[in-house]
Every structure is written in C-alpha cells, then in structure tokens.
C-alpha cells in the first residue's frame, strides 16, 4: 500500500455561545477558529481522515499549507502503515506544527484500521476500558450563570465539571461557591487557569481561597514555560496541580517530569503530534508514576473520535477527560454523532476511526471561511 495524495482543507466549525457571548477563558476569547481536514489517499482505494485542531497560532487553516507544501511531497509514495517512519520524516522536514502532524497521524491510523478491519484502539494496544469518563468546561460568566450550567451538566450525568478561573480572586471565589452549592458534594470540581495567573503569589493566594470548595485539581496555574514556578506551587498548594499547556511533545512532557512540575499530566492528540506521540507520553508518565487525563483543543468529531480511541487503550488514564470537544459546537459534521451518554464517551463502532463525514455540513463550514 502506498500514499498517492494528501489533501488538507481549512474549515471553520461554529462554536456555541456561552451565556450569550463567545468562549472566554484565561488566555482570552476564542475567535475565528479555523481547523483543517486531512485526507490521505492510497493506491488501494482506502483513504483516511484526520483533523488539524489548534486554537493557538498558527491556526489549523494555516497549518493546512504546511501539510500540502512540506509534508505531502515527502510522504507520497510512503507505506501508510509505517507510522513510526512517517513521524521521523515529518519531524525532519517540519519543526513544530504538531497539530499538522497530528492530522496526518490520525488519518494514517484510520487507514491502517480500515485495511485490517479493526478499530484504532486495537492498534494502540486494545481495550483497557469500555468508555471514558468526561469532564466539561464551564467558560467565563457570572457566578449564577456558571452555576446553572454546572447543575445542567450534572443532571445530564457528568460527574466532573471543569471551571475556568482567572476572573479575579473575588469573582473566582464567588463562582466556585455558587457551583459547589449548585452541584453538591459528590461531583468533582476541577479548575483551569489557562496560564492566567501572572505570579506564583497570585496563584497560591487564589488556590488558598478556593480550597474550601473541595477542588479535585488545578490545571496550568502559570505560563507554559514556567516549570520551576509550577513545581513551587505544587509543593506549597494542597490542591493537586495538572500540567496542560506545558505539555505538547514527548520532549516537553519529559521536562515537566524532570522538574516535578505536576501531579497529573494532560495529554493532547493535537499538541503531541498525533496518536503515536500521545501514546508515548502516556508510557513516559506511567513509568514516572504520574497519572494522565486527555485534554481538548476543542476538537470536532474527527479529533474527538481519535481522543476516545486513545483513551480506551491507555492504562494510565486515571482522570476524567475532555473527550467531548464536539459538544462545544452548534452541531457536528459526522453522519453519526459520537456516543456520549451520562457523562461518558464511547468509541465509534467500525474499522479505523469508525466515523463518516456529512459532506454537506463540511462544505458549509468551508464556505464560511471563504465568505
């Protein structure tokens, strides 16, 4: 089997609004999101699809050009089953741009799964669990609005809610108080600063104020590069610390492990460069006795399916995960939606990723960029 062509097509999925406005969180408001569809064709009439999902710069649309101009010329003619070799070729040709590589990687796994008539999770080691417990993010808003959404999520079966913080100590405290009162004591509440706290003192002061609300963990309290500051906070906070934006590739995960900067590490398919590299990070963390969760960009249906396949196969996944990115959009573009029931995500059935696109919806998302 050989790769004959690689397509990379930008599209703009429609983010849902929260509390009557856009998605607002610690590092700013998410605007004008562009992702990319990667479609790899082979000489055996088997194709695979992947997703370039990135809310940071360069966005998915810009990274599509890297796939077409840099990765396609070196990958055409390669056997798509040689995933490790292809990762080496991509890394040698293109520095960074992990979401672009992830789009290619996901499509490769989709091809191999289809060729062997098995789901992607079997290629990653097989089932460890039947489903993934989910967390859902509550974006910035007023305390009563955020508490009402938390209550709705718990009614829908979510056992973990992730509260975006960074609106100021007093407002964050009011938000957490309202949410804890709304959901009771049996629901896990975690917080996510998204790098919004500028100093160690600000982070520790806020964490101290939020301790009474039984916080499960605090995600990325400082800038992604401040690993020593993260380690200091971890040592002096009663709330466990999860690294998120600090971890992209296996190399960055190793730095977090070496600096002892986190109690938990969040792994992304997009930021790692795909399923192959993400599974490596899981193995590294398992060896270091650091548990994992899976983070979200948030992906649409393709990337969400890839996340779920990963989580089904990773033994070190010990925390509820953000594998429900497709729920953050007005609608998805899969013919059959991802199965999410009572705060649990289930892998799509069928070979490869087990998904199929609704081309009419996809075309409308592409047209939105060009309009």
Q: What is the Cα gyration radius of the chain? A: 20
Range of the domain at 286: 123-346
Give the count of alpha carbons within 13 A of 310, CB side only: 35
Q: Look up the CATH number of the domain holding residue 127.
A: 3.20.20.120
Q: Do 149 and 196 belong together in one domain?
A: yes
What is the tens place of the pLDDT at every residue in 132-191? 999 999 999 999 999 999 999 999 999 999 999 999 999 999 999 999 999 999 999 999
Q: Do 183 and 312 belong together in one domain?
A: yes
What is the tens place of the pLDDT at every residue in 6-55? 999 999 998 888 877 767 666 667 777 899 999 999 999 999 999 999 98
Q: Do 85 and 138 belong together in one domain?
A: no
Q: Do 176 and 323 belong together in one domain?
A: yes
Output the pTM of the full model. 0.95
Average pLDDT, the chain: 95
* 305 lies in some domain: yes
Q: Do 316 and 362 belong together in one domain?
A: no
Q: Do 191 and 131 belong together in one domain?
A: yes
Q: Mean pLDDT throughout 295-303?
A: 94
What is the tens place of the pLDDT at every residue in 312-330? 999 999 999 999 998 888 8
Q: Do 272 and 294 belong together in one domain?
A: yes
Q: Do 251 and 318 belong together in one domain?
A: yes
Q: Look up the CATH number of the domain holding residue 45.
A: 3.30.390.10
Q: Give pLDDT, residue 32.
A: 77
């Amino acid at each position: 089997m050989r790769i004959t062509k690689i397509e990379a097509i930008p599209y703009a999925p429609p983010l849902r609004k929260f509390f009557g406005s856009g998605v607002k969180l610690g590092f700013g408001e998410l605007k004008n999101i562009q992702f990319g569809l990667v479609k790899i064709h082979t000489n055996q009439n088997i194709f695979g699809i992947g997703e370039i999902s990135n809310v940071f710069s360069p966005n998915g649309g810009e990274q599509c050009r890297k796939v077409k101009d840099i990765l396609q010329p070196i990958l055409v003619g390669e056997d798509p089953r040689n995933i490790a070799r292809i990762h080496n070729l991509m890394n040698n040709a293109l520095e960074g741009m992990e979401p672009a590589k992830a789009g290619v990687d996901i499509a490769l796994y989709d091809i191999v799964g289809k060729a062997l008539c098995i789901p992607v999770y079997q290629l990653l080691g097989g089932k460890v669990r039947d489903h993934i417990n989910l967390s859902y993010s509550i974006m910035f808003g007023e305390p009563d609005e955020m508490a009402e959404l938390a209550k709705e999520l718990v009614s829908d079966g979510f056992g973990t809610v992730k509260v975006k913080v960074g609106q100021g100590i007093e407002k964050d405290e009011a938000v957490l108080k309202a949410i804890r009162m709304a959901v009771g004591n049996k629901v896990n509440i975690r917080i996510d600063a998204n790098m919004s706290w500028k100093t160690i003192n600000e982070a520790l002061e806020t964490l101290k104020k939020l301790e009474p609300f039984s916080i499960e963990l605090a995600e990325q309290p400082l800038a992604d590069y401040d690993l020593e500051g993260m380690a200091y906070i971890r040592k002096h906070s009663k709330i466990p610390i999860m690294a998120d934006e600090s971890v992209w590739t296996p190399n960055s995960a190793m730095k977090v492990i070496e600096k002892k900067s986190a109690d938990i590490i969040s792994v992304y398919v997009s930021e790692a460069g795909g399923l192959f590299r993400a599974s490596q990070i899981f193995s590294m963390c398992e060896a270091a006795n650091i548990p994992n969760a899976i983070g979200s960009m948030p992906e649409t249906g393709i990337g969400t399916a890839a996340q779920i396949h990963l989580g089904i196969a990773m033994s070190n996944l010990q925390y509820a995960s953000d594998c429900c990115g497709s729920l953050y959009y007005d609608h998805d573009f899969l013919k059959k939606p991802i199965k999410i029931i009572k705060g649990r995500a289930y892998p799509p059935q069928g070979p490869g990723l087990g998904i199929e696109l609704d081309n009419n919806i996809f075309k409308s998302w592409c047209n939105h960029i060009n309009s």
